[in-house]
Amino acid sequence: TNLCRMFGEACAGDGDSFTFPTPERLAEASEKDLKEAKLGFRARYVGEFARRVAEGELDPGAWCQEADSNVLRSSLLGVKGIGPYGANHLLVLLGHYGDIPCDSEVREYLGVPPKTAQREVERVAARRYGRWGRYAYLAYKFERVFIKRNYVDWCDGAKR
């Protein structure tokens, strides 16, 4: 919301809605300006990403066309601020479902102890859903939806 309000364009209507800022607009912003939008340490990464896109060095649209998950993962990991967890999320959003983005929610769902290393959580998820290959994430999500242990079933603090 802060990013849109500070760097986007006001939408017609009630005055409370703003467009998502263009890469060019974000590339013009200083790290300090981006931090004022409450981006914290991510301000540096958002600024650099926007600059690379604005200058034509990086084409996120090409990610939508990439069929090879390994090539796409490599490209995503080449962006400062995107690590394995973020890359897995982006892969899912781009239609590549072979890996599950493992966070504390997934860890808890899988019954893995809280202090377990990230790689071990990923191994547990791979063992459980790996047989679905390139559809592992979809199998994970389907299971959660089917047994009503999906995030949206608990988002207001009460089971629906």
Residue 94 near residue 67 (C-beta atoms within 8 A) = no
Main-chain phi, psi angles of 22, to 5 degrees? -75, 155
In 3-state terms, the chain is what percent helix, strand and coil (to 5)?
60, 0, 40
Residues in the chain with pLDDT values less than 50: 160
**Which string of DSSP letters, residue by residue, matches 43-67?**
HHHHHHHHHHHHTTS--HHHHTT--
> What is the pLDDT, as a whole number, of residue 39?
95
> What is the pLDDT, as a whole number, of residue 123?
95
Q: Please, which residues bridge with residue 18 across strands?
A: 10
Residue 3: CB atoms within 10 Å? 18
> What is the pLDDT, as a whole number, of residue 150?
63
pTM here is 0.82
